[in-house]
Structure 1
Amino acid sequence: MTVEFLPAPGTPVELIDTPAMIVDLDAAEANIRDMQQVVASGGSSMRPHTKTTKSPYWALKQIEAGAIGVCCAKVGEAEVLVEGGVNDILITSEIVSVSKINRLAALARHASIKVVVDNAENAREISEAAVSAQSEIGVLVDVNIRINRCGVEPGEPTTTLAKIVDKLPALHFAGLNGYEGHVFGFGDERIPETLEALEKLQHAVSEVNAAGLPIETVSAGGTSTHDITCKVPEVSEVQAGSYIFMDGQYVDQKLSFRPALTIMTQVISRPVPDRAILDVGLKSIANDYGPPRVMGLDGAEFTKLSEEHGTLSLTGSAQKLKHGDVVHLLPSHAGTTINIHDHYFCVRNGILEDVIEVAGRGKFR
């Protein structure tokens, strides 16, 4: 039997075994408050996406700060959230297989569950399952507004599907979902591309309204577009998720949120003055968006990530790094990094305050 020894609250952060996923609680809580304030001031509600955090702990913190509910990507994630006390969830990926649809319908007996659809037959299958389970499921028609992934086209295809959903038993047509995706750029540079996508969603809203169907919810937005999307009158809720921790791909955009999550790793070898080897590898930090960044150590550059090791190139004062020292790395992509860890080690002022399970880890079904 494998036993994992977790550190007790009060442990200095540098004494936590590595590699460890460290959260700066002050930074994460400030990010939650700041996003809530920005979105509310723009006239929208927050429905943060938990595909990043994969944890009821963080979802409940966001709801406590004012979010109306949360999003997730999978039925398995939704099940974990409901078990953890979250009772208003939008699943933003299409749910297709019979077993998943049955789980979705069963879950809707215990919480307010909404799901997106972009196919009439899929909507009928969800309806049949909900009837059988004696539950009701909210449905948002998924509209393709920019990234050419899922979603029907705005206009007639959206309106036709909305009419079908509205007539199906045990389904409640709730509105439209449109994700504009990650829009790169600084400040106002993001506005034209974001608004071009959202104009398609606005057109879809107008057409559905003209068909006589009431729309309660228009869900859109992400971390990179939150401050633009929240001001669009038709948008009722914003789905941003990565803002809570930030990562390498977002930090470059100089958004008004602080990096709050790092992977703490330890120097296990100093073979030559200009190289350090760390105990972090592909099994503990993701590199799908590029290598991690070294935090707070001038002259250190991350150069190689292998299965069990990471390599730093050292110049100047960074060459003082010693065998056994800890180094903090900012992942290029927080979501995929979080999914390979079991616990968050939540720290305030350098001291461990709590250890939180990543309860949704691996829940990709």
Structure 2
Amino acid sequence: MDYLPLPGTHVEDIDTPAIVVDLDIAEANIKAMASFAAENGVSLRPHMKSGKSPFWALKQIEAGAIGVCAAKVGEAEILAEGGVREILVTNQIVSSTKIRRLFGVASQANVTVAVDNHDNVDDLSMGAQMFGIELGVILEIECGMNRAGVKPGEAAVALARAVENAPGLRFDGVMGYEGNAVYTQDFDLRKQQAMDSVNILVAAADDIEADGMEVKIISAGGTGTYDITGKVERVTELQCGSYLFMDSKYLEVFGDHPHPFRSALTVQGTVTSKPASGRTIADPGLKAISTDQGLPGVVSVEGAIVRSLSEEHCVMETQGPADELQPGDKISFLPTHSDTTINQHDYYYCVRNGMLETVVELAGRGRFM
């Protein structure tokens, strides 16, 4: 049984480890990205592999987003159940079980799904005919990530034609991800890398249109490249997601480059042990904070450096004010990667002016399928 605090609870009275979101900052981040998109004539379709909840999806749609992206069928299911009516599934859905579930989502929302091979097109077409539901399809183009995606050129044109001719499917366009560029710190190099990828994507769209098919959607973009990709005339929509909470990795990437985003999400912990001067232990371990992009930072007190995380322990080197911390004191950590940290928790504790406003279920947690 979960014992959840009531609205009005002071943030330091929330039990730990807990994900705490400053609503004022998160809403300002949402507004800032929506304003950028509007000013540059590009649509916004935020990726919910970050937010993992209809709560955040609907907030972004209310601010002007045309819909959202989902990484998996499971995420799409909770979004549709929560009232989201425009969903792009950005990965390939290939098993018969998942395809059936995909059409369950498509019965509640307008769904578009990414493909990169002919067999998948045939299976999706069979499902569309079986369920009597038209399914939007977008080609994922390999444009530098060396991950999934059909190669641009003849292969992409042939795959687009297969979608165009497949009963029950609607060819909508192309997508790509310049993920090889989003973490490059030097802006000029990041811009060059991003544009190299986006130019491949746009060229693939040009080839498809030259073959007589309409490309309505060219979808791309990550938080690290939003102000590069979002200014490319042919790109119709941005898939950025992490700007919502803005983890420390992206703050490091942006450095002195101007941007309007601030960190809205922290993991609150409690000091559990003070075994020696200069060493302090807190309760958010690896089960509460991910370290795939590095160790978290301490943001609530000066003089604390995280040295290691084990399953249940955070070991900090402390000096100055931080070395005065005692068992029972609260401490806040800024994750380097919010997406993978979020997936380890059940709830967001959303606060405003230091007081709990609402507890939001992390409905997309663990939706790996």
Q: Note whether the superposition's TM-score is higher than 0.5.
A: yes
TM-score by length of 2: 0.97
CA positional deviation for 1:183: 4.1
Matched, 1:348 2:352: yes
Deviation at 1:202, TM superposition (A): 1.3
**3-state SS of paired residue (2:29):** helix
Asked if structure 1 preserves the Cα contact closer than 8 Å seen for 2:22 and 2:264, the reply is: yes
Per the alignment, in what secondary structure is the counterpart of residue 50 of structure 2? coil
Question: Structure 1 counterpart of 2:54, which letter?
Answer: P
Count of aligned residue pairs for this structure pair: 363
Hey, what's the Cα distance between the residues in 2 that align with 1:66 and 1:186?
30
- Taking the TM superposition and a 5 Å limit, the aligned residue runs for 1:1-365 are 3-181=1-179, 182-254=182-254, 255-365=259-369
Equivalent position amino acid for 2:275 in 1: P
Q: In the aligned structure 2, how far is the partner of 1:183 from the partner of 1:115? A: 26
CA contact (8 A) 1:105 1:126 kept: no
Q: Does structure 2 retain, via aligned residues, the 8 Å contact 1:299–1:318? A: yes
> The residue matched to 1:313 in structure 2 has which SS?
strand
Q: For 1:282 and 1:90, locate their aligned partners in 2 and report how far apart those are by CA, in whole Å.
A: 31
> 2: CA distance between counterparts of 1:146 and 1:183?
14
Quote the offset at 1:139 in angstroms. Answer: 0.3
In 1, are the aligned partners of 2:300 and 2:333 still within 8 Å (CA)? no
Shift of 1:106: 2.6
Is the 2:286–2:310 Cα contact (8 Å) retained in structure 1? yes
Quote the Cα distance in structure 2 between the aligned partners of 1:310 and 1:317: 18
Distance 2:190 2:39 in 1: 19
Work out the CA distance in 1 between the residues paired with 2:75 and 2:2: 24
Whether contact under 8 Å (1:183, 1:194) holds in the other structure is no
Distance 1:324 1:251 in 2: 30
1:106–1:135 CA contact under 8 A, matched in 2: no
Which whole-Å CA distance do the structure 2 matches of 1:317 and 1:331 have between them? 21
Q: Which amino acid aligns with 2:53?
A: S
Gaps in structure 1 of 5+ consecutive residues: none
Shift of 1:113: 0.3
Whether the 8 Å CA contact 1:221–1:240 is kept in 2: the answer is: yes
Looking at structure 2, the residues matched to 275 and 24 of structure 1 have their Cα atoms a distance apart, in angstroms, of 29
- Comparing 83-92 with 268-277, greater Cα deviation is found at 268-277
The answer on whether the counterparts of 2:299 and 2:332 sit within 8 Å (CA) in structure 1 is yes
Deviation at 1:110, TM superposition (A): 1.5
Matched position secondary structure for 2:51 = coil
Runs of at least 5 residues in structure 2 that lack an aligned partner in the other structure: none
- The worse-fitting range, judged by mean Cα deviation, of 250-259 and 59-68 is 250-259
- Inter-partner Cα distance in structure 1 for 2:341 and 2:329: 22
CA distances 1:1-44 after superposition (whole Å, capped 9, x unpaired): xx211000000000000111000001100000001111221221
Partners of 1:21 and 1:334 in 2: CA distance: 10
Asked if 2 retains the 8 angstrom alpha-carbon contact of 1:183 and 1:193, the reply is: no
Q: Distance in 1 between matches of 2:263 and 2:246?
A: 5
User: Once superposed, which parts of structure 1, at least 4 consecutive aligned residues long, lie more than 3 Å away?
Assistant: 186-189
Identity of aligned residues (%): 50
8 Å CA contact retained: 2:183, 2:253: no
